[in-house]
Structure 1
Amino acid sequence: MIAFKDFHPIKGILGSPWIGFGNFEQFFNSIYFWRLMKNTILLSLYSLLWGFPVPILFALLLNELREGLFKKSVQTISYLPHFISIVVVVGMIVNFTSIQSGVINQMLAWFGVQPISFLSEPGWFRTIFVSSSIWQGFGWGSIIYLAAISGIDQQLYEAAEIDGASRWRKMWHITLPCLVPTIVILLILNAGSLMEVGYEKIILLYNPTTYETADVISTFVYRQGIEKADYSYSAAIGLFNNIINMILLLSVNRISKKMTETSLW
């Protein structure tokens, strides 16, 4: 209801005047609308395009390792970044990319490259955001695929080995096809949250110089609703964002059900 009203805390939700789609029209006509849509979609697509396959590949490769100390160590190390606070991760990024003492700029200096102010350059923001998200989540994301792999009938591998199949052939023709239902379900869930970019990390990383590529719908809602206390306007933007996510979820689920016979319902 707040999204369709000119909300005033003193008057309350019911006492605030009704303005219909006024807040939505204000957002659609805003000079920031297309920038916010573009940044939100691009960050989500890049994260999905580069980040979604990595846990799958990691799980497949990890499955090929023999049981032992090395495999357990690799698993443990890959899970650890998931438990690091976003604030700490951002602090690490800031330190590594520092123009004065950052490790990355020091390495570039060895090759005669001038220091780069990564966090002040709009062109670098998406690369930093996506790559750090992949590093933080690929190990934890591989757990569900490893669980699915452990449920594959071992007789399939034994039969393939009798037929002379190599480890690559067994992975390509047995492991990967058996993972397809799990992959499809997770892809549907990811597509359903395409417009929900992790705003916590963006808020900690971005600044006015990188708004051009970093500002997304969720961070705009934060600034309008929390910093400027424009509750009706921010609620309308958030509602619009959630409706788009719902449409995407229903659409991808319907397409998946027709093409692969795998869906959420």
Structure 2
Amino acid sequence: MLNKINLENVLFLDIETVPETPTYGELDEVRQDLWEQKTQYRRTEGVTAEEYYENAGIWAEFGKIICISVGYFHQKGSQRQFRVTTFHGEEEKILKEFRQLLDTHYGHSKYLLCAHNGKEFDFPYIARRMIVHGIPLPEKLNLFGKKPWEVPHLDTMELWKFGDFKNYTSLKLLAHVLGIPSPKEDIDGSMVRAVYYEEGDLDRIIEYCVRDVITVAQVFLRLRNEEQLSEGEIVYV
């Protein structure tokens, strides 16, 4: 079934997120209280709400998107290409540009979105942040009333589960298991907040995000038992 999908109909994506403010102290009292309530059962004994705030980026209610990288396959004559680009800047601008991309080029029902753990994280996070900013949801993220088989989302983590709901496999581990060469990474997801707020190095985060999009595409190809992308086939636009 997976091999019947036209690769050119799939938009691969990854997002990077950070806490909405650099520090817990910059939240107003109401939001500090709400954060404490939100995390009270997640924090281990002795860890305060303030100390745990560095993890706030994983919740759409307390975090924000700082970049969305996307990639898509394109056949140029006999040459296969995988084109990658990134939306970055202020969150509202990112979301509006991403929505425009979906509405303009991926509105037809034949198109699908694909991410690793996208159904649990990327897709709902983007949708929630659009609602926060008053941005109308594009059809690809508006799931209300849709039957499971009508949801236009692919998830490489879900595909790897093969029905095993207990299993969580990180993108890095899955790529390693499948023998996908991984470029040298100077950061991982746990470092994004510090790189963004303390170092102010968004370009470094974008590079990390782009690498993940390429890896998701490579995993998808391996799941279809198809040839991996070469560096020469990857086009940065």
Structure with the larger strand share: 2
Structure (1 or 2) with the larger CA radius of gyration: 1
Whether these two folds match at TM > 0.5 is no
Q: TM-score, normalised by structure 2?
A: 0.27
Question: If each structure's helix is expressed as a fraction of its own residues, which one has the higher value?
Answer: 1
